[in-house]
Amino acid sequence: MRILMVYPEYPDTFWSFKYALKFVSKKASNPPLGLLTIAPLLPANWEKKLVDMNVEKLKTKDILWADFVFIGAMSIQLNSALDIIKRCKTFGKKIVAGGPLFTEDFEKFDMVDHLVLNEAEITLPLFLSDLEAGNPQRIYHTTDFADITKSPVPDYSLIKKSKYSSISIQYSRGCPFNCDFCDITALLGHKSRIKSTAQIIRELENIYALGWRGDLFFVDDNFIGNKPVLKNDLLPTMISWMREHGNPFVISTEASINIADDPDLMKLMTNAGFSTVFIGIETPHENSLPNATKRKTKTEIFWKV
């Protein structure tokens, strides 16, 4: 079976970094980690090819090569996703779609043959076993959240690494907050679920073996969701690993502002190679926080920012 994985093009918005990326001779900031994560969930003997349309064009010969086209996308990629779907359908290809865009708006995609929604660790195996039995359904969804200690190491070998300014890696999913403008809790739940330290080391080994050196982005919703495990296990292990490998990565992530409460945690992160933490501040007005259904992360810190 030949699987063509396609990541649609972003529109020209601030977060596509279209103009900034030219200064560093890159095409996109990050590869599509969702598609890289589902690739190893597919049977090992299936052939897989990835086209990220933010770094290369989708060629007709790639579509013709495929038995199935797998599309993953965010809502902002809707227009490009629709173009891909129409184009693949003119060649009579079967389409499987998943990721945030399709999970949230699945009823809008009549032309998609199979909507494999929510976290693929749960829904993709169900689709694959029905496919093998010759009876694949149109929609697979779940209200459960995946045990990500069982998530496979993403197949980083599928990307054209020189086109990206940073490589993505994920330690946790989910967030305890409930901001009304954010889709995280609907998609991934309120509980911070973490991978094991051994998994992260395996993922770092894979990225290192790929020959990647430089920026690495932990794409967690809140990297510090489980501080005791970070402080006692992951970060000390990462510090040793980074030293043994000549500090190959410059790491960034996202975290809540209460990271500033914990100098020990920040020191450990710095020693493990973290150089930048992206912190979202919803509003400088404390009274506006309830309007965004955001409970305070920590008032004293919030007001010092």
Q: 95 has which bridge partners? A: 69
Of 50, 88, 109, 121, which one interacts with ligand B12 (CB under 6 A)? 121
Q: Which does 259 bind (CB under 5 to 8 A by kind): ligand SF4, ligand B12, none?
A: none
Dist. CA 217–CA 167, nearest whole Å = 6
Of 53, 120, 238, 268, which one interacts with ligand B12 (CB under 6 A)? 120
Distance between the two ends of the chain, CA-based, in angstroms?
Answer: 53
Say if CB 226 and CB 176 are below 8 A apart.
Answer: no
**Which of helix, strand or coil describes residue 98?**
strand
Q: Shortest gap between Cβ of 4 and ligand SF4 (angstroms)?
A: 32
Dist. CA 251–CA 240, nearest whole Å = 15
Site for ligand B12 in 124-143 (CB under 6 A): 124
User: Contact between 242 and ligand B12 (CB under 6 A)?
Assistant: no
Q: Shortest gap between Cβ of 175 and ligand SF4 (angstroms)?
A: 3
Beta-strand runs (E) in the chain: 2-7, 47-52, 68-72, 94-98, 114-116, 139-140, 167-169, 172-173, 193-194, 214-218, 249-254, 274-278
Q: Which does 185 bind (CB under 5 to 8 A by kind): ligand SF4, ligand B12, none?
A: ligand SF4
Dist. CA 79–CA 261, nearest whole Å = 42
Q: Which does 152 bind (CB under 5 to 8 A by kind): ligand B12, ligand SF4, none?
A: none
User: Contact between 97 and ligand B12 (CB under 6 A)?
Assistant: yes
**Which of helix, strand or coil describes residue 246?**
coil
Site for ligand B12 in 262-301 (CB under 6 A): none
Could you list the residues that contact ligand SF4 (CB under 6 A)? 175, 177-179, 182, 184-185, 221, 280
Binding site for ligand B12 (CB under 6 A): 10, 13, 15-16, 29-30, 32-35, 37-38, 70-72, 74-76, 96-101, 104, 116, 119-121, 124, 168, 170, 173, 182-184, 187-188, 219, 221
